[in-house]
Amino acid sequence: MSHPLTGIKTVKELEIEKKVVFLRLDLNVPLTKDGVISDENRILAALPTIEHCLSRGAKLVIASHLGRPKKGNPTDRVQLSLEPVCARLTELTGKEVLLIDDPEDDSVKGMLKNLREDQMICLENLRFTEKEEANSTEFAQVLASYTDVYVNDAFGASHRAHASIAALPNLIAQKGVGFLIEKELNVLYKVQEQPKAPFVMILGGSKVSDKIPLIDRLIDKVDSFLIGGAMAYTFLKAKGIPVGKSLVEESQISFARHFFERMEARGKKILLPLDHLTAPNLEAGATLTQTSSDAIRDDSLGVDIGPLSVTHFSRVIAEAGTIFWNGPMGIFEREGCSKGTFGIARAVAESKGFSVIGGGDSASAVEMSGYKDKVDHISTGGGASLEYLQGTKLPGLAAVRAPKRSEVL
> Residues 8, 86, 331, 384: which binds ligand ADP (CB under 6 A)?
331
Binding segment toward ligand ADP, per CB under 6 A, in 9-17, 150-158, 216-224, 359-367: 359-367
Quick one: which segment of 79-87, 203-211, 236-244, 289-297 binds ligand ADP (CB under 6 A)?
A: 203-211
Query: Residue 149 Cβ, how far from Mg ion at the closest point, in Å?
Result: 34
Q: How far is the CB of 4 from ligand ADP (least distance, A)?
A: 20
Instruction: State yes or no: residue 361 binds ligand ADP (CB under 6 A).
Output: yes
Q: Least distance (Å) from ligand ADP to the CB of residue 122?
A: 28
- Residue pair 324/201 in contact by the 8 Å Cβ criterion: yes
Q: Which of 56, 207, 268, 405 is catalytic?
A: 207
Choose, from 95, 360, 401, 404, the residue flagged as catalytic: 360
Residue 236 CB, nearest approach to ligand ADP (Å): 11
Shortest distance in whole angstroms from residue 50 CB to ligand ADP: 27
Among 359, 381, 395, 396, binds ligand ADP (CB under 6 A): 359
Binds 340: which of Mg ion, ligand ADP, none (CB < 5-8 Å by kind): none
73 Cβ contact partners less than 8 Å away, ≥ 6 residues apart: none
Of residues 53 and 243, the one with the C-beta less far from ligand ADP? 243
Residue 1: exposed, middle, or buried by beta-carbon count in 10 A (0-12, 13-18, 19+)? exposed
Residues 277-316: x where in contact with ligand ADP by CB under 6 A, - otherwise, as a string = -------------------------xx-------------
Is 383 catalytic? The answer is yes
Query: Hey, which residues between 91 and 150 contact ligand ADP (CB under 6 A)?
Result: none
Is 326 one of the binding residues for ligand ADP (CB under 6 A)?
A: yes
Q: Which residues, 6+ apart, have CB-to-CB distance to 351 below 8 Å?
A: 317, 318, 319, 320, 323
Question: Min. distance of Cβ 299 from ligand ADP in angstroms?
Answer: 16
Binding-site member from 206, 314, 390, 392 for ligand ADP (CB under 6 A): 206
In the residue annotation, 190 being an active-site residue is answered as no
Size of the site for Mg ion (CB under 5 A): 2
Catalytic: 381? no
- Residue 333: other Cβ atoms inside 10 A: 14
- Does 361 engage in binding with Mg ion (CB under 5 A)? yes
Q: Is 405 a catalytic residue?
A: no
Residues lying near ligand ADP in the complex (CB under 6 A): 204-206, 210, 229-230, 247, 302-303, 326-328, 330-331, 333, 359-362, 382
Residues annotated catalytic, as ranges: 42, 207, 360, 383
Residues lying near Mg ion in the complex (CB under 5 A): 360-361
